[in-house]
Amino acid sequence: MMQWTGDPYVDVGLATILAFRNKEDPAQLTDDDLRAMAEWIAENYARNPLKSFLTVAFTSNAWFAQPSFTPEKREERGKVHLFAWQQASSGTERCVFTGLPSAAVPLSDKLAPGRAARAQIPLTQGDEDINFYPNGDSGLAISGQALLCLQAFPLGCAKLSGRLLAVHASQPAVTLAFAREFLAINRKNIALAQQAGETKLPETRYGIGTLLVDTLMKIIAESRYLADDSAPFSIIAYHLTNGQTPEIAIYHLPLGVTGFLRLARTPRYSAAWGRIAQAALPRQAEDDGAAGNRKRLAKAKGATAKPTIQRNPLYEDLLSLPEEAPRFLRRYLLRDALHQAKSLTATQSDAAVPAAGSASWDLTELFLKEVMSMDKTRIEHIRALGDRLADYVAAENDRRFFRAFYSEQNYALLRNALLKANTNAVRRGKPPLITFDQFIEVFEEGEDIAYKDWKLARDLVLIRMIERLAAWLSDNADALPEPSADGSSLPEDEQT
Amino acid sequence: MRVLKIILEGVTTSFRYPNFMLGVQPSYEMPPPATIYGHICSALGEWVNPADIQFAYRFTFERKLRDLEHIHVLAPSGGRLPGTRMPKVLEGNVNPFWREVLFQPRLTLYLNKPEWEAAFRSPRYPVVLGRSQDLCGYTDVRVIELVERGAAYFEHTLIPFDHPWKTAKGVVVTMPRLLDYANNRRPTFARYIILRQRVASDDDSVLYFGPPPQTYWVDPESPESAGKQMGLVFHTLA
């Protein structure tokens, strides 16, 4: 019986077979299902566009691509690779992926029976090479079932920048959903290329993060993963080629990031998330414009323009989380708060302003909790400080303090501005804006060097302040710098 | 609970994904359990029974980078070495490839074997972690008493995927759990959560499947944060 292994190659291959047969659970797979997959591969891998493209997965020594093979030998090797699962194995070794007995068939003239190498398993060594194998025994033991999964593996990947993008999730259903999406696109492209007599398989023109997150959001929207109580999952994407210059890059979407994305689509946060996603698109339009110029220039010169890779900066930046969370927060959430305040002050009356800008903080709070694991108490202190400072600015009309708090790059000067405002409030018979304990809670990290992330704390307080100050800002629009798509309105050292 | 606490520091390390051998050798961001077992055996100078070992750890590094290396990729050969009567058994070419390297690694290892303190104070083989060229050193080796607390935080550590409680932070990876040296180093793999962020036992992101534990093992020497100290999740190898 087939089952998930935890290995990206085998699991994505297994997911591809499931998707090919429109099934959900490996336990549902029958011999008929495996045979159907094997027969489809036998028919299509040995001809274009897959024959030329799949050397990126299995090298030109693959059974369907090796130019020195006679048709008989190709057929014989194809059967060995695709139907070994049918044979009762007498192999003495155990498959490194499944733990099943290894296939007792030779996969090349140089490997011991039941062992596979670079022509079957991407990025392993060649048939005779001994490096990285125990005792210098070339190849890895593999079962017939795992071998078929490996053969199916590239069909469940996206073709991107001449490589394969395999998506492996901690929840098999998510791995299956990605494989289903990519298989559908591949089968359509294969059929079109075969009809047109094309030798090349068209490729996805998206950046890795753009394709990954765009597909994930589609999967979330269409599946039960939107539910708050569904199991969390993390994703690892492998962008690889096993061709002439082997290469692999690994990208992570951790549990917290996928949790954030799932919740960002729910009604409470969807408006703010939609705005941010939309705001990220103008850069796309600029790229398209640049691409259009390049195309026109190339046409004028009689050359073919290199296709542009489309990147959604928001989706690409999600791949840098949680390590780059402060930068992400500044670039998207603070910018969104600024855009909101600016657009509201330009278009709405005072009476309409207060409610309209809401939800920026809600989404920020979700980000802090899901992605940054920020302590609930600290979040509460930040929000409360934002409220108090906003009330102070509005009541005292203290534009100087607002601008200092917004743009100060020197921590000591920011602290001085806060102290002055505090003193000012107390002098007027009001409670202090911030107590010592609250100050420590908001601006210090804890065990590490004090004030390490004071700019992050300042940005968070600002998001809340700007949201709360919508009415005041409508009368003091010039207190805000001009928001711009590239974040150039943000404090100087916080761009990029 | 008395444990042996070992602090290891080095300049570089790398924990290669086992089946990516060519062109680029990416690194896990935490040492796999199989690496920890090999490290313990290296210090002791013998293969010890993995079934007796329980370990927990905290692992950090400054940053990840890529280093260009050259490998002599070798294959069996025949004939004689040129100009000699010596048989040639291997030949190969130099291949460049990129290796992911973790800079300035720091491992705090907790072992349920306080009796191994002397061995770690005078390790049998050179102290390495990851690759043989990644020389490291122990900056502290001693026995401490862990304490039980009603709450703890966890960070920079590895958690078994099938652990009774799970955190909705981190990344799920499949790692080598143990290599069977009696059987041609046959690997067994298991799934783990690499947790680098700090999460507390009472966070919303910590999910309990069954009643939450009454107490957690905590390192009493760890820094305190919001009234909690660092908890330890112990692993077994067999």
pLDDT in tens, A288-332: 555 556 556 656 666 555 667 788 999 999 999 999 998 999 889
Backbone phi, then psi, for A122, in 5-degree steps?
A: -55, 140
Q: What was the pLDDT predicted at A415?
A: 82
At residue A438, what is the residue type? Q
Would you call A255 and B90 a contact, using CB atoms and an 8 Å cutoff?
A: no
B199–A373 C-beta distance less than 8 A: yes
- For residues A141 and A102, give the distance between their C-alpha atoms in angstroms, rounded to a whole number: 6
**From the CA of A2, how many Å to the nearest CA of chain B?**
17
Query: DSSP string spanning A204-223?
Result: B-B-HHHHHHHHHHHHHHHS
pLDDT digits over A40-73, tens only?
999 999 998 999 899 999 999 999 999 899 999 9
Q: Is the pLDDT of residue A356 over 50?
A: no
Q: Which helix (H) or strand (E) holds B12?
A: strand B12-13
pLDDT for A229-261, tens place per residue?
Answer: 567 899 999 999 999 889 999 999 999 999 999
Find the residue in A nearest to B230 (Cα). Answer: A447
Q: Kindly report whether the peptide bond that precedes residue B160 is cis, defined as omega within 30 degrees of 0.
A: no
Name the residue in chain A with its Cα closest to that of B190.
A6
CB spacing of B203 vs A248 below 8 angstroms: no
Q: Could A250 and B224 be called an inter-chain contact, meaning their C-beta atoms sit closer than 8 Å? A: no
Chain position carrying tokens 């053969």: A151
- Kindly give the pairing relationship between strand B90-103 and strand B24-25: parallel
Q: Where are the beta strands (DSSP E) in B27-126?
A: 54-60, 63-76, 90-103, 106-111
Q: Rounded to two decimals, what is the model's pTM?
A: 0.90
| Percent helix, strand and coil across chain A, each to the nearest 5 | 55, 5, 35
Question: At CA A423, angle to CA A419 and CA A426, rounded to 5?
Answer: 140
User: Given the DSSP bridges, would you call strands A235-241 and A247-253 parallel, antiparallel or unpaired?
Assistant: antiparallel
pLDDT value for A226: 53
Q: Rounded to whole angstroms, how far apart are CA atoms A457 and A464?
A: 11
Identify whether the C-beta of residue B106 lies closer than 8 Å to the C-beta of residue B156. Answer: no
Q: Which residues contact A386 (CB under 8 A, 6 or more apart)?
A: A361, A460, A461, A462, A463, A464, A465, A467, A468
Which of B20, B30, B191 best probes binding to A when mutated, by most A CB atoms within 10 angstroms? B20
Token output for B25: 């050798």
* CB contact (8 A) between residue A248 and residue B224: no
Asked if residue B38 lies in contact with residue B131, where contact means CB atoms within 8 angstroms, the answer is no
Chain A residue with the nearest C-alpha to that of B195:
A254
- Distance from the B174 Cα atom to the nearest Cα atom in chain A, whole angstroms: 6
pLDDT-based confidence at residue A349 (cuts at 50, 70, 90):
very low
Extended beta strands in A58-205, E state? 115-116, 140-141, 158-160, 163-169
CB contact under 8 A, B191 and A6: yes
Of B26, B184, B223, nearest to A250 by CB-CB distance is: B26
B227 compared with B9, residue with greater pLDDT: B9
The minimal CB distance from A131 to the residues B71, B186, B203 is found for B71
Q: Which of B14, B16, B17, B22 is best to mutate for the A interface (most A CBs within 10 A)?
A: B22
> Across the A/B interface, how many CB contacts are shorter than 8 Å?
119
- ipTM associated with this complex: 0.93
Share of chain A above pLDDT 90, in %: 44
Are B19 and A6 within 8 A, CB to CB? no
Determine the distance in angstroms separating the CA of B24 from the nearest CA of chain A, rounded to an integer. Answer: 6
pLDDT tier at B235 (50, 70, 90 boundaries)? very high
Average of per-residue pLDDT across A360-367: 90
